[in-house]
Amino acid sequence: MDSKTNNEIKEIVNDLRLKGKKIVFTNGCFDIIHQGHIRLLKEAKEQGDILIVGVNSDSSVKKLKGKDRPINSEADRAEIMASFECVDYVVIFEENTPERIISMIKPDIHVKGGDYDPNDYKKMPEAKIIHGYGGKIHIFNTIKGKSTTDIIRKMK
Protein backbone atom coordinates (compact mmCIF):
# COMPACT_ATOMS: atom_id res chain seq x y z
CA MET A 1 0.00 0.00 0.00
CA ASP A 2 1.26 3.45 -0.90
CA SER A 3 0.77 6.48 1.29
CA LYS A 4 -2.27 8.51 0.33
CA THR A 5 -2.47 12.18 -0.60
CA ASN A 6 -4.62 14.50 1.50
CA ASN A 7 -7.37 14.44 -1.13
CA GLU A 8 -7.28 10.66 -1.42
CA ILE A 9 -7.47 10.15 2.35
CA LYS A 10 -10.36 12.62 2.62
CA GLU A 11 -12.34 10.70 -0.03
CA ILE A 12 -11.51 7.36 1.62
CA VAL A 13 -12.66 8.63 5.02
CA ASN A 14 -15.91 10.00 3.58
CA ASP A 15 -16.62 6.58 2.03
CA LEU A 16 -15.73 4.74 5.25
CA ARG A 17 -18.05 6.99 7.26
CA LEU A 18 -20.93 6.17 4.93
CA LYS A 19 -20.22 2.53 5.79
CA GLY A 20 -20.42 3.31 9.52
CA LYS A 21 -16.72 2.77 10.25
CA LYS A 22 -15.07 4.28 13.34
CA ILE A 23 -11.95 6.18 12.23
CA VAL A 24 -8.83 6.33 14.42
CA PHE A 25 -5.87 8.58 13.68
CA THR A 26 -2.40 8.72 15.16
CA ASN A 27 0.72 10.45 13.98
CA GLY A 28 4.44 10.74 14.48
CA CYS A 29 7.88 10.83 12.93
CA PHE A 30 8.32 7.04 13.19
CA ASP A 31 11.99 7.44 12.28
CA ILE A 32 13.45 4.27 13.80
CA ILE A 33 10.71 1.78 14.62
CA HIS A 34 10.83 0.33 18.13
CA GLN A 35 8.64 -1.54 20.59
CA GLY A 36 6.89 1.63 21.75
CA HIS A 37 5.73 2.37 18.20
CA ILE A 38 4.40 -1.16 17.74
CA ARG A 39 2.42 -1.03 20.98
CA LEU A 40 1.06 2.43 20.13
CA LEU A 41 -0.14 1.24 16.73
CA LYS A 42 -1.77 -1.91 18.14
CA GLU A 43 -3.53 0.04 20.89
CA ALA A 44 -4.64 2.68 18.40
CA LYS A 45 -6.17 0.03 16.12
CA GLU A 46 -8.11 -1.39 19.08
CA GLN A 47 -9.90 1.96 19.44
CA GLY A 48 -11.89 1.62 16.21
CA ASP A 49 -12.30 0.02 12.80
CA ILE A 50 -9.84 1.90 10.60
CA LEU A 51 -6.40 3.19 11.61
CA ILE A 52 -4.90 6.06 9.66
CA VAL A 53 -1.30 6.98 10.48
CA GLY A 54 0.02 10.46 9.76
CA VAL A 55 3.78 10.48 9.13
CA ASN A 56 5.70 13.73 9.50
CA SER A 57 7.47 14.79 6.29
CA ASP A 58 11.25 14.97 6.20
CA SER A 59 11.17 18.76 6.48
CA SER A 60 8.90 18.73 9.53
CA VAL A 61 11.04 16.07 11.26
CA LYS A 62 14.10 18.24 10.67
CA LYS A 63 12.32 21.22 12.28
CA LEU A 64 11.13 19.13 15.23
CA LYS A 65 14.15 16.90 15.86
CA GLY A 66 17.16 18.75 14.43
CA LYS A 67 19.38 18.85 11.36
CA ASP A 68 20.58 15.24 11.70
CA ARG A 69 17.08 13.84 11.44
CA PRO A 70 15.28 12.03 10.02
CA ILE A 71 17.44 8.95 9.75
CA ASN A 72 15.01 7.36 7.27
CA SER A 73 13.24 9.22 4.46
CA GLU A 74 9.52 9.99 4.58
CA ALA A 75 8.91 7.50 1.76
CA ASP A 76 10.73 4.75 3.68
CA ARG A 77 8.95 5.60 6.94
CA ALA A 78 5.55 5.64 5.21
CA GLU A 79 6.22 2.28 3.54
CA ILE A 80 7.26 0.74 6.86
CA MET A 81 4.09 2.07 8.55
CA ALA A 82 1.93 0.77 5.70
CA SER A 83 3.43 -2.71 6.09
CA PHE A 84 1.97 -3.20 9.57
CA GLU A 85 -1.16 -5.34 9.67
CA CYS A 86 -2.87 -2.96 12.11
CA VAL A 87 -2.39 0.10 9.85
CA ASP A 88 -5.04 0.67 7.21
CA TYR A 89 -3.83 3.93 5.60
CA VAL A 90 -0.83 6.22 5.74
CA VAL A 91 -0.68 9.91 4.89
CA ILE A 92 2.41 12.15 4.98
CA PHE A 93 1.88 15.65 6.34
CA GLU A 94 4.18 18.68 5.97
CA GLU A 95 3.30 20.62 9.12
CA ASN A 96 4.92 20.14 12.53
CA THR A 97 1.59 19.22 14.09
CA PRO A 98 -1.32 17.25 12.59
CA GLU A 99 -3.93 20.00 12.98
CA ARG A 100 -4.62 20.44 9.26
CA ILE A 101 -4.99 16.73 8.47
CA ILE A 102 -7.14 16.21 11.58
CA SER A 103 -9.36 19.14 10.54
CA MET A 104 -9.75 17.50 7.15
CA ILE A 105 -10.54 13.91 8.17
CA LYS A 106 -12.09 14.52 11.63
CA PRO A 107 -11.22 11.12 13.13
CA ASP A 108 -13.57 9.74 15.76
CA ILE A 109 -10.55 9.06 17.98
CA HIS A 110 -7.09 10.60 17.96
CA VAL A 111 -4.44 8.50 19.70
CA LYS A 112 -1.51 10.43 21.09
CA GLY A 113 1.57 8.85 22.59
CA GLY A 114 3.16 10.37 25.65
CA ASP A 115 2.15 12.27 28.71
CA TYR A 116 0.09 14.89 26.89
CA ASP A 117 -2.85 16.62 28.53
CA PRO A 118 -5.74 16.87 26.05
CA ASN A 119 -6.80 20.10 27.77
CA ASP A 120 -3.42 21.78 27.24
CA TYR A 121 -3.91 23.31 23.82
CA LYS A 122 -0.40 24.81 23.81
CA LYS A 123 1.34 21.42 24.03
CA MET A 124 -1.36 19.57 22.09
CA PRO A 125 -2.89 22.10 19.65
CA GLU A 126 -4.84 19.47 17.72
CA ALA A 127 -6.90 18.77 20.86
CA LYS A 128 -8.84 22.02 20.41
CA ILE A 129 -9.91 20.93 16.93
CA ILE A 130 -10.88 17.44 18.10
CA HIS A 131 -12.88 18.79 21.03
CA GLY A 132 -14.52 21.28 18.64
CA TYR A 133 -16.15 18.62 16.47
CA GLY A 134 -16.84 16.16 19.32
CA GLY A 135 -14.04 13.68 18.71
CA LYS A 136 -12.25 11.79 21.46
CA ILE A 137 -8.58 11.67 22.44
CA HIS A 138 -6.90 8.53 23.73
CA ILE A 139 -3.51 8.94 25.41
CA PHE A 140 -1.14 6.01 25.02
CA ASN A 141 1.29 5.63 27.92
CA THR A 142 4.76 5.53 26.43
CA ILE A 143 7.23 2.87 27.48
CA LYS A 144 10.12 4.28 29.49
CA GLY A 145 13.44 3.95 27.66
CA LYS A 146 11.81 3.05 24.35
CA SER A 147 12.26 5.99 22.01
CA THR A 148 14.09 6.81 18.81
CA THR A 149 16.10 9.42 20.71
CA ASP A 150 17.22 6.74 23.20
CA ILE A 151 18.20 4.40 20.36
CA ILE A 152 20.26 7.11 18.63
CA ARG A 153 21.90 8.02 21.94
CA LYS A 154 22.93 4.35 22.47
CA MET A 155 24.31 4.16 18.93
CA LYS A 156 26.57 7.15 19.55
* Omega of the bond leading into 70 within 30 degrees of 0 (cis): yes
Q: What is the pTM of this model?
A: 0.91
Q: Give the bridge partners for 140, in sequence order.
A: 113
Per-residue pLDDT of the chain (156 residues; tens, 9 = 90+): 679 999 999 999 999 999 999 999 999 999 989 888 999 999 999 999 999 999 999 999 999 989 989 999 999 999 999 999 999 999 999 999 999 999 999 999 999 988 788 889 998 999 999 999 999 999 998 766 656 556 556 666
Domain boundaries, the chain: 6-155
Q: Which CATH code, of 3.40.50.620, 3.40.710.10, 1.20.120.1200, 2.40.50.180, is assigned to 6-155?
A: 3.40.50.620
Residue 154 pLDDT: 61
Residue 35 pLDDT: 86
